[in-house]
Every structure is written in structure tokens, then in C-alpha cells.
Amino acid sequence: MSFLEVRNMCRSFGGLRAVDGVSFAVVKNAIKAVIGPNGAGKTTLFNLIAGSLEPDSGEVRIDGKNIYNLPPYRIARNGISRTFQNIKLFSHLTVLENVMIGRHIRSRSGFIPAMLHLPRSRREERDIRERSMEILELMDIGDLADRDAMSLPFGKQRILEIARALATEPSLLLLDEPAAGLNLYETAQVSEMITGIRERGITVLVIEHDMSLVMNISDEIVVLSSGRKIAEGVPTEIQKNDEVIRVYLGEDDA
Amino acid sequence: MNMRKYTPVFGLIAVIIIFQLVTTAIGREFYLTQLTMSAYYCLVILGLTVLMGYAGQISMGHAAFFAMGGYTTAVLTTCNLMNVKESLFVKLLGTSGLTIMEKNAYGAEILHLSPWISLFAAVFVTAAVAFLIGIPILKLKGHYLAMATLGFGIIVYRIVLGTRLFGEADGISDIPPFKIAGSLAVSGDPAFRVQNYYIAAFLVVAGVILLMNLIDSRVGRALRSIHGSEEAANAMGVNTARYKLFVFVLSAVFACIAGVFLTHFNGGIGPSEADVMKSVTYVAIVAVGGMANLWGALVMGMTLNYLSLRGYFGSFDEFVFGSILIFIMLFFPEGLLKMGNFRNLARGLARLKNKYSADKKEG
């Protein structure tokens, strides 16, 4: 039973076919990795699924529901949350406030109740704060709650971005290179964090270059090259796939 | 805990009362006139601060919204309904107490609409225009948004200047006072000076409280997240287009209400209120106040408007505000009223002092 279904996704930039007819599916509560050389179209594919880029054609379903070509905020409301390859935290907001934005879709107060500070919105505000604090504690960065988000070290910023995404209570989490720029110790932490996220019943789709991380945590792997899917399968299959070895290591004519 | 958030508001109320008591005590109550006017301009600036400082969307056309409020009320409350007195609609308004019968300077009877109607009409018109204009232009970002709002401001200014209904270059005068309740009225009559000061102050305090609540809420956070990263805000489920539109309309309504009240206070309105230079002035004051700083905007708004209205800048008014904008953008992009600036200044002075005393020892 596939939870996320991507069918025939296409997107070109001018003459470049960045994503060219990619189809794959993710089983509920699995960790699936998207790998491929630089420029293979991994992040473009993510942006198409999350709605920050408009697809040329294709189909995306989550839990059977068609989310193709919806604006990103509506895709988020359908239970898909994401992180960004080049971290996009909210500047001028504290660590806690960043996570609190994640609670946006789980709360309702509009302009008027907010301005009048009505009891309902006050109660909601308290819930948002408590719930966000819990998530920070869970990710072990509760002590940084009042710091300015941009003042955190890089590794903590990545963790904060994941915390913010988790605050939306997603059913599918898209992680775009969560270990990029992290040292070995931090990478191990992220690896543990991702498996922990899966244990909470969340399906994970992750782009990653760190092969040992990918091979360790993922149930299945999709390999992209020049916008096309060239392989899909469990890690052991992918490791032995000739096509994958060719795009990663180059042609061997000898 | 909740009350602590409002401590500065109590401070503000205290300052407002002290100003009135002092000016009355020293027999300079006429200062209150310019303070009242400044307070109304501050309403525009407060709304613009939320739009610019918190949501990160610039508007170089806010004078247009102020003018829409002012001109709507000016037209509606000066138009004589004597000719259509017998029509059903006017009669209906009359029985609801929404028309006012008065004698003009020549003793002729005139019938005009109550400012309550024109206030609501003005808010409605302004909100509708801001909404319609906001849908296309808020898709723009940065310089492009600045240019689009500037263009909108110029259009409104030209319409005001070229339309007979709006009095062309002369504007509209003889606007009746806005009777709020009992003997409470928005009017420039010196006898009403003190109460008008408090009416304006009340609106400012109410505006500050409403906006403070807004900023510190789910909606406020969503607005600030748009400023931080629009793409990420969208990915978190914030309907950024809608929030930008709503905050644009909200700030336009603040400007509109200020326009309505100040027009009744002044008893007239002219095209200079719609002038692009006015919009630039508002932007400059928001910038000096520190962009995302309601209190900074309020303090600078009161001070600079007061000095300008008292004529301290003479005919260099536009020069002063233009220079302020350049100076602030170059040296204090985070605003003047920031603690860091005072600390830097203190540090600089301490260094000078040390150097001076060291020089003295050597000498």
C-alpha cells in the first residue's frame, strides 16, 4: 500500500529537462532516499512534490488524495512538511517562535481575535507554546528556545529546521540533505533522529549525499540521473546496480 | 504576566496626561493642537510599521489611503442633501439620526450626512481599494513593490488634484465637526482642544494595543515569518498571499481612520495630504523608528511630526525627511531607537574620555 505516489513528474527549465517522467512510490512509514549526482534533479523533484515549483505534468497523491499542482501552503495542510537544502529559518524570530510557526496549520485564530486578544486565541497561544516547547525538548534543543534562530551554530540550525517541520505533525516529511555540512558526530545524530521520526509513524523521503547514512537508514532508494529515474530498490540492490555505479564512478572502458 | 506586557502602555497613558497637564499649567495649551495632529499621523505610521517592519512589505503609497479616508468623509459630510430631502433613502437616514440639519454662514438650511456614516463608508471604500489593488501588486517584491505602490500613490494624488468633486487644488473646506457622543466632538475649535487631544490619544493607545496583540499572536508570527522567508512560511502552511493582503488592508484602514479624524479636526483637506512626499515621510519615520518597532515608530512619529507641524524645519521640510531617509538607511538600517546604538554611543564617548584623560596626563 503506497502512501506517496509520484507518477510521470516532468518539469523543464527552458531546454533543460530537470525532472523527466519520474515515477515512484513510498510505502507508509518507510524511509526512502533519493540519491543521484549533482544536477540530477533531486531538489527539483522535492520542490515539485511540495508545491514550491509548478510541475509541467504528472501526478502526486498522498494517501490516495491528489495534491498535484496545489499551492505549497495547501500541500502542507495535507500533511507534507519539508526542510530546505540551504536552511531557510525565519530570521528575527527566536528558536521557539520558529517552531511555533510550525503549529500554524494546527491552530486557527485570525486577525480580529488576535488583535482583541480574545480568550480563545489566548488559550490557543498557550497550547502552541507548550506543544512547540515539547518538540524542542524532544530534539534536545530546549535550552536554546529564546536564542535568535540565526545565531545558532549550523548543525543546530538543521535540527531546528527539522523540529519546525515536525511541529506541523506531518504524515510525510521531506528532508533535503539533512546531513550536508555536518561533521561525523552530527551526522550520526541526524541518522538517529530520522529513524526516531519514522518510529513516530511518519513516512520520510530524504535526499542525501552521505552514502553510509543513506545505506544505513533507508528501506528503499530511488536513483536519479539527468532528471530520469535510473534505478529503484533496496540498498543492497542499488549498491550492485551497474547503471548506478556508472553514473557515480564514470564509465570504465578498459 | 499578561499585565507586564502592557506596562509600556500605562507609561504611554501617563506621558499623554502629563503633556496635557504641563501645557495647560504653563499656558501653552495651543501646543496640543499640533500634538493632536501628530497623533493622527502616528496612526498611519503604526499601521505602516506592521506592514513594513513586521511583514516586510513596503508601501510608498500610504498617503493615498489617508487621503481616501479624508476625502470620503469630506465629500459625504459637505454634500447638501436639501434637494433630495424627500427621497425615501434620505428620510430613512434622517429617522435613524444619520443626517444632520444645520444652517450655513448665510442662514440657508443645509442637510448633510452624519460623519458616522462617512467614517464607515471611508473605511469600506479604502479597504475595498486596498484589497483590489493589493491582489496584483503584492505579488511583487522589494523594489518592484515599492515602485507599484508609488505609482498607485501618484495616481490617487492626480485624481484628487484633477477632480471637481474633490475641489481640485483647493481641496475641500468647511467640513463639520464629528460629533461622537454628547458634547464630545472632533473639531478644531480651540474650546475643544483638550478633549480632541484625548480623542486622538485614545485612538493611538487603542491602535498600539491592538497591534501589540496582533504582533504577539499566531497571525503576527505568520507575518514575521513571511519577512524571514516567504518560501519557508508557505511550506509551513502559511497562506502568505492572503496574509500579505490582509495586513496591507489593515494598515490601509489605519491610515484611512487617521484621515477621517484629522480631516474633521482640521475642518478641511487639501491635495497635499495625498502627495507622494507624504508617503515618503511616513516611510522615513517608520525607518527611523526601527522598522519592526511599534514604540520606536510612535516616539519618532510624534517627535518628527510635531517638529514639522510647528514649522521647525521651515521650508526645508521635505529636505529634512529625505535626508533622514538617506542617513538612516546608510548608518542605522535597524533604526535609531535601538539599544545597540546607545551602547555604541556610550562606548564611543567612554573612549573619547579615556583618550582625553590620557592626553591630559601626558601633557
User: Interface pTM (ipTM) of the complex?
Assistant: 0.92
Q: Which residues contact B195 (CB under 8 A, 6 or more apart)?
A: B184, B185
Q: Which residues contact A112 (CB under 8 A, 6 or more apart)?
A: none
Cα distance from B349 to chain A (closest Cα, Å)?
29
pLDDT, one tens digit per residue, over B301-327 is 999 999 999 988 888 888 888 888 888
Please list every residue in chain A whose beta carbon sits closer than 8 Å to the beta carbon of residue B236: 73, 76, 81, 101-102, 104-105, 164-165, 168
Q: Which residues contact A77 (CB under 8 A, 6 or more apart)?
A: A105, B237
Locus of grid cell 523533484: A45
Mean predicted lDDT score pLDDT of chain B:
90
Please list every residue in chain A whose beta carbon sits closer than 8 Å to the beta carbon of residue B252: none
Instruction: At A145, list the grid cell.
Output: 528556545
pLDDT over 70, % of chain A? 98
Cα distance from A158 to chain B (closest Cα, Å)?
14
Does residue B218 belong to the interface with chain A, where contact is any CB pair within 8 Å? yes
Answer yes or no: are the C-beta atoms of A88 and A161 closer than 8 Å: yes
CA distance B322 to B288: 12
> Can you say whether residue B100 is alpha, beta or left, with left for phi > 0 and alpha for psi between -120 and 50 degrees?
beta
DSSP structure class, residue B176: P
pLDDT, one tens digit per residue, over B83-107 is 777 787 888 888 877 888 777 767 7
Query: Residue A53 has what pLDDT?
Result: 93
Instruction: At A214, list the grid cell.
Output: 543513506
Nearest to B309 by CA among B48, B71, B32: B32
Answer yes or no: are the C-beta atoms of B81 and B113 closer than 8 Å: yes
pLDDT, one tens digit per residue, over A172-214 is 999 999 999 899 999 999 999 999 999 999 999 999 998 999 9
Instruction: At A15, list the grid cell.
Output: 531546454
- Give pairs for A144-150: CB < 8 Å, separation 24+: A144/A95, A145/A94, A145/A95, A145/A96, A146/A94, A146/A95, A146/A96, A147/A94, A147/A95, A148/A91, A148/A92, A148/A93, A148/A94, A148/A95, A149/A89, A149/A90, A149/A91, A149/A93, A149/A94, A149/A95, A149/A97, A149/A98, A150/A89, A150/A91
Distances (CA, A) of A151 to A94, A145, A160, B39, B225: 9, 12, 12, 37, 16
The answer to whether residue B1 scores a pLDDT higher than 80 is no
Q: Which helix (H) or strand (E) holds B186?
A: strand B184-186
Dihedral sign, Cα of residue B157, residue B259, residue B221, residue A66: negative
Structural domain spans, chain A: 1-79+170-254, 92-167
Cα distance from A232 to chain B (closest Cα, Å)?
27
Answer yes or no: are the C-beta atoms of B33 and B195 closer than 8 Å: no
CATH numeric code, A1-79+170-254: 3.40.50.300
Can you tell me the mean pLDDT for A68-74? 93
CA distance B274 to B66: 7
Q: Which residues contact B13 (CB under 8 A, 6 or more apart)?
A: B205
Please list every residue in chain B whose beta carbon sits closer than 8 Å to the beta carbon of residue A135: none
* Cβ distance of B218 and A121 shorter than 8 Å: yes
**DSSP of B66-100:** HHHHHHHHHHHHHS--GGGTTSHHHHHHHHTT-EE
CA distance A44 to A26: 18
Coil, helix or strand for A112?
A: helix
Locus of grid cell 484625548: B198
Q: How confident is the model at residue B204 (pLDDT cuts 50, 70, 90)?
A: very high
Answer yes or no: are the C-beta atoms of A87 and A153 closer than 8 Å: no
* Cβ distance of A110 and B219 shorter than 8 Å: yes
Strands, DSSP E only, in chain A?
A: 2-13, 16-27, 31-35, 57-62, 65-66, 80-82, 172-176, 203-207, 220-225, 228-233
Nearest to A100 by CA among A127, A77, A122: A127
Higher-confidence residue of B199 and B360: namely B199
State which amino acid sits at residue B230: E
CA distance A45 to B146: 34
**Cα radius of gyration rounded to whole Å, chain B:** 23
Does residue B152 belong to the interface with chain A, where contact is any CB pair within 8 Å? no
Distances (CA, A) of B61 to A178, B223, B298: 43, 20, 20
Fold of B2-79+115-353: ABC transporter involved in vitamin B12 uptake, BtuC (1.10.3470)
Nearest to B236 among A92, A102, A121 (CB): A102
Q: Which residues contact B298 (CB under 8 A, 6 or more apart)?
A: B12, B42, B45, B46, B204, B208, B289
CA distance A106 to B322: 45
The answer to whether residue B334 scores a pLDDT higher than 80 is no
Coil, helix or strand for B110?
A: strand
Q: How confident is the model at residue B9 (pLDDT cuts 50, 70, 90)?
A: very high
**Helix ranges (DSSP H) in chain B:** 2-5, 7-25, 31-49, 62-78, 88-95, 115-137, 142-162, 193-215, 218-228, 230-235, 240-266, 276-289, 294-309, 317-331, 339-362
Nearest to A90 among B218, B229, B240 (CB): B229
Coil, helix or strand for A225?
A: strand
The answer to whether residue B245 scores a pLDDT higher than 80 is yes
* Cβ distance of A168 and B237 shorter than 8 Å: yes
B181 bridge partner residues: B184
Query: Residue B363 has what pLDDT?
Result: 58
Query: Residue B339 has what pLDDT?
Result: 53
Query: Residue B111 has what pLDDT?
Result: 84
* Cβ distance of A76 and B292 shorter than 8 Å: no
Distances (CA, A) of A250 to A41, A64, A210, B155: 18, 39, 18, 62
Q: How confident is the model at residue A135 (pLDDT cuts 50, 70, 90)?
A: very high
